[in-house]
Amino acid sequence: MLRLALKMLLGDRAKYIMLVGGLTFSALLMTQQRAVFTGLVSWTTSHMRNMRASIWVVEHRVEQVNETKALRDTDVNRVRSVSTVDYAVPLFQGVLKARAADGSDKQIQLIGLHAGTLKGRPTVMVEGGEEGLERLRIANNVVVDVLASKRLAAGLGRPLQIGDTFEINDREARVVGICKTEPHFFGYPYVFSSYDQALQYAPRQRKMLSMILAEPKEGHSAEEVAQQISNETGLRAYTVPEFEKATVDWVWKNTGIPVSFLTTIILGFVVGVAVAGQTFYSFVLENLKHLGALKAMGASNGLISAMLFVQAMTVGLIGYGMGVGLTAVFGFIVRPIGQPPFVISIETLVGTLFSILVICTLAALFGILKVARLEPAVVFRG
């Protein structure tokens, strides 16, 4: 009977197409918006993937990785003095203005790395290689990311290359390497220099140390060492997962981004319920006399409910597949451009599947309630 139920559904082409279309749109909206949101959230923590370190030490009021409250220079030594710390190095991070070739000012994310270790250096070099990174120790030398090489090239007619110069805060910066980074949450291009050079570029302030990057001694976990640093220095030491979670939590609490995405996702759900519910209900109404005839012939409410459920779930799964497929096509199109951020996680796929199944269950329930109340004798009334 379930096979016949599917034939009944597929035989009504108009309703079938409308149901699948509505559910496809709903799945597309929910998956695409969630993928963009996931991508955007991943950008908030890209800093930590662009500058790898096990422990990030910050001023105790800092809540997320994109926030800076300067530390005292002596804090580096305080962290180094913690017995389980293998080594700790200073890091500068700040948003500065850089002047492109055409004289226009562009904002950049300047990262100052400890010259001795270059801890936090970019992991993927596109041009200049390891030698370019080593040359960061020389005055005025910088490594820029691909985005900076394009954005600061305004007026050049080509991206920045090794050997090109531009100005950061009226001081010369010479490109010695080009690296690949994950996009920054605020969209700034990355420029890497040595820590001392960064202090030269940045406007002078009483405290210039942004963060301290640390590694645990062998045999000690990052969690344990971070806890010890926090306890002994009064600074806030985060492991990578902790800092990522704190950053994402901060975005949820302090920005309207999740609400706006959530609104669209809910809208997708509501559209799905409205379109699928209404169409499926009208499909049931149009087939009411046939369903009544089946009841008269001895089909139980359970069997008819199962038939309606199978019909609803079938269009649901087809709509889900098509919606996710279209989202994937969207992803393939935008991925090379890099905008908007786009990450389809397994949670997104499972979440959309669950939502679509809920939509289909609701749609089926409308019909099931109608049929359950149907007297089989209705088939004798004209």
Residues engaged in binding other proteins (CB under 8 A): 1, 3-4, 7-8, 10-12, 287, 289-290, 292-300, 303, 375-377, 379-382
H or E stretch including 215? strand 211-216
CB of 6 to other proteins, least distance (A): 10
Side chain identity, residue 139: A
Query: How far apart are the C-alpha atoms of 152 and 158, rounded to whole Å?
Result: 10
User: From CA 213, how far away is CA 116, in angstroms rounded?
Assistant: 13
Residue placing its CB nearer to other proteins in the complex, 4 or 17: 4
**Number of other residues whose CB lies within 10 A of the CB of residue 104:** 12
Report the residue number, 5 or 58, with the smaller CB distance to other proteins.
5
Closest distance to other proteins from the beta carbon of 374 (Å):
11
Report the C-alpha gap between 361 and 309 in whole angstroms. 7
| Nearest residue (CB) to other proteins, 82 versus 294 | 294
Our CB check for other proteins shows the closer of 44 and 311 to be 311
C-beta separation of 46 from 182 below 8 A: yes
- Three-state secondary structure of 65-89: CCCCCCECCHHHHHHHCCCCEEEEE
Instruction: Supply the minimum distance, in Å, between the C-beta of residue 10 and other proteins.
Output: 7
Cβ-based nearer residue to other proteins, 7 or 206: 7
Q: Which residue, 267 or 293, has its beta carbon nearer to other proteins?
A: 293
Q: In whole angstroms, what is the distance from residue 188 CA to residue 186 CA?
A: 6
> Cβ of residue 310: shortest distance to other proteins, in angstroms?
14
Name the minimum Å distance from CB 318 to other proteins: 17
Determine the residue type at 376. P
Closest distance to other proteins from the beta carbon of 372 (Å): 11
Alpha-carbon gap, residue 352 to 32, rounded angstroms: 10
- Between CA 361 and CA 277 the distance in angstroms is 9
DSSP helix/strand/coil, 167: strand
Of 249 and 286, nearer to other proteins (C-beta) is: 286
- Beta carbon of residue 189, minimum distance to other proteins (angstroms, whole number): 60
**Do the beta carbons of residue 321 and residue 47 sit within 8 Å?**
no
Please tell me the number of Cα atoms within 13 Å of 373 on its side-chain side: 7
